[in-house]
């Protein structure tokens, strides 16, 4: 019996989203999802504001898990309220079309400064969408600190 095609499916414990891709956004604000990312996002996704002026893209299930965690934060915490307001007020439920394109709403495109040239990175449980120049600047700024990271950041990692 032939094995199922699992070439793009991550092994257990391996993050679903890895790598860097450079799709272009069309004039209607649609972005082609990288082929490797399409299956985990096919049933639906949530796009929202990310930190460092990128967008976060979560599969519906992962977004639901995060939302449940947010609900555990005390409503009396100003920091929790502020974070939830920014994070959730920008969120948009989307479903990729049959060609693997997803529409990025105009307010989110504006927030991240997205134009035609984009970078889509896998960040484990989420996807991030960056303006290509913003990503290049961010990555250049992080090269030195990344090389200098000490064990305190991820104890026992390397």
Q: With a cut of 70, say whether residue 4 has pLDDT above it.
A: no
pLDDT at position 111: 97
Q: With a cut of 90, say whether residue 8 has pLDDT above it.
A: no
pLDDT at position 16: 84
Q: What residues does 129 pair with on adjacent strands?
A: 55, 120
pLDDT at position 6: 41
Read off the pTM.
0.86
The residue among 12 and 87 whose pLDDT is bigger is 87
Q: With a cut of 70, say whether residue 24 has pLDDT above it.
A: yes
Report all structural domains of the chain as residue ranges with CATH numbers, in order of start.
Answer: 20-148 (3.40.1550.20)
The residue among 124 and 11 whose pLDDT is bigger is 124
pLDDT at position 3: 41
Q: How confident is residue 146, by pLDDT bands cut at 50, 70 and 90? A: confident
Residues 6 or more apart whose Cβ sits within 8 Å of residue 122: 15, 16, 17, 18, 19, 20, 36, 37
Other Cβ atoms less than 10 A from the Cβ of 94: the count is 19
Q: How confident is residue 147, by pLDDT bands cut at 50, 70 and 90? A: confident
Q: With a cut of 90, say whether residue 49 has pLDDT above it.
A: yes
pLDDT at position 7: 45
Report the alpha-carbon angle 61-63-69, nearest 5: 110
Cα–Cα distance measured from residue 62 to residue 69, given in angstroms and rounded to the nearest whole number: 11
């Amino acid at each position: 019996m032939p094995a199922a095609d699992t070439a793009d499916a991550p092994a257990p414990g391996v993050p679903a989203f890895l790598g860097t891709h450079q799709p272009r956004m069309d004039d209607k604000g649609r972005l082609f999802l990288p082929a490797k990312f399409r299956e985990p996002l096919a049933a639906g996704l949530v796009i929202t504001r990310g930190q460092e002026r990128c967008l976060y893209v979560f599969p519906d299930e992962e977004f639901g898990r995060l939302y449940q965690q947010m609900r555990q934060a005390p409503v009396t915490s100003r920091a929790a309220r502020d974070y939830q307001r920014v994070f959730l007020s920008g969120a948009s439920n989307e479903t990729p079309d049959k060609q693997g394109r997803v529409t990025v709403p105009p307010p989110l495109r504006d927030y991240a400064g997205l134009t035609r040239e984009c970078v889509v990175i896998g960040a484990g449980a989420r996807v991030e969408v960056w303006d290509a120049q913003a990503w290049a600047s961010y990555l250049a700024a992080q090269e030195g600190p990344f090389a200098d990271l000490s064990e305190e950041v991820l104890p026992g990692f390397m």
